[in-house]
């Protein structure tokens, strides 16, 4: 199987019809590491919106157990991507997500904005750092995929085209990004979580690397210092070099979405766990992983 075999398969599909298949090929096989990192930053980006940061500060989930909240989100989203939205596991994952969100008063615009980051942050990340950028079919499929998830979550007024949705994201950030006590606090918990994945002595360096990866509007809305140009260039060079190396590696043959998601809260996942163990609600009856 050649390096571009799956891309040719993706290009033979129709995004409006085959968006789940295309999205799975992209996330599970073509760009598993990049999608994981870019979706981390997609969520991180939403915390620069004061209303979202205020909600997270109220629940104290990020303060008490940020790793679990991160893993819950990643694993629930992975069920839908790996098994399909209409599979038993995909349906249960979406029900779980809806029940968790239903506990809180969240505006439709905030929900719509979060949804937009899941579409466009990976596109931007892979354009900068991927072993190749996402193709037109992959970009369109990401829009249709999350549009369908949004509809099933009851999110209203989803823009009717990917261009309109991308512009909504830009406009929303320009209007709402603002430094507050809670945007700084929730951002700090998240950067601290990222630093905790590495040896403790590297923590100050990791903090600066994360700051260097932020664009100015995001960094300013979280109250972090501007990093020197040499550090920004070094981080970008490192990520682009990784992409060039990945391009030379053998094609991935197994999906990482569910079997090897890299979570830290559920040792041995998926053995011994159900979807009822995930999230902020108590465990409920749910389909078991096979």
Q: Which residue has the tokens 């995930």?
A: 278
Average pLDDT estimate for 139-160: 97
pLDDT of residue 262: 61
* Mean pLDDT lowest among 18-22, 94-98, 147-151, 175-179: 94-98
pLDDT digits (tens, 9 = 90+) for 162-175: 999 999 999 999 99
* 269 band by pLDDT with thresholds 50, 70 and 90: low
Mean per-residue pLDDT over the chain, rounded: 89
Q: Kindly report the pTM of this predicted structure.
A: 0.90
Q: Which residues make Cβ contacts (< 8 Å) with residue 114, sequence separation at least 6?
A: 43, 46, 52
Strand-pairing partners, residue 288, are 274
In a domain, 281, yes or no: no
Does a structural domain hold residue 7? no
Domain count along the chain = 1
Is 50 exceeded by the pLDDT of residue 39? yes
> Which tens digits make up the pLDDT trace of 201-219?
999 999 999 999 999 999 9
pLDDT above 60 (res 286): no
More confident residue, 146 or 251: 146
Lowest-confidence pick of 8-22, 62-76, 114-128, 265-279: 265-279
Does residue 286 sit within a domain? no
Residue 276 lies in a domain: no
Residue 53 lies in domain = 14-255
Is the torsion defined by CA of 254, 258, 262, 268 positive or negative?
Answer: negative
Average pLDDT over residues 104-127: 96
């Amino acid at each position: 199987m050649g390096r571009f075999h799956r891309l040719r398969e993706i290009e033979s599909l129709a995004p409006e019809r085959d968006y789940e298949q295309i999205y799975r090929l992209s996330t599970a096989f073509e760009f598993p590491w990049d999608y994981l990192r870019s979706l981390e930053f997609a969520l991180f980006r939403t915390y620069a919106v004061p209303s979202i940061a205020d909600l997270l500060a109220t629940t104290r989930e990020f303060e008490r157990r940020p790793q679990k909240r991160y893993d819950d989100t990643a694993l629930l989203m992975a069920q839908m991507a790996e098994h399909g939205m209409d599979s038993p596991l995909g349906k249960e994952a979406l029900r779980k997500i809806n029940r968790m969100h239903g506990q809180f008063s969240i505006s439709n615009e905030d929900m719509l904005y979060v949804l937009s980051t899941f579409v466009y942050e990976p596109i931007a990340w892979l354009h900068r750092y991927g072993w190749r950028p996402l193709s037109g079919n992959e970009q369109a499929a990401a829009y249709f995929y999350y549009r369908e998830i949004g509809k099933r979550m009851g999110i209203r007024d989803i823009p009717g085209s990917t261009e309109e949705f991308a512009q909504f994201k830009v406009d929303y950030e320009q209007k709402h990004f603002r430094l507050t006590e809670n945007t700084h606090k929730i951002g700090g918990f998240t950067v601290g979580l990222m630093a905790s994945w590495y040896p403790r002595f590297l923590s100050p360096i990791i903090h600066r690397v994360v700051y260097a990866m932020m664009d100015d509007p995001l960094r300013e809305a979280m109250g972090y210092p501007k990093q020197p140009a040499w550090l920004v260039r070094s981080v970008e060079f490192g990520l682009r070099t990784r992409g060039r190396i990945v391009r030379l590696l053998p094609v991935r043959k197994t999906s990482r979405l569910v079997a090897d998601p890299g979570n830290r809260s559920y040792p041995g996942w998926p053995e011994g766990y159900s979807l009822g163990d995930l999230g902020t609600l108590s465990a409920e009856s749910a389909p078991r992983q096979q």
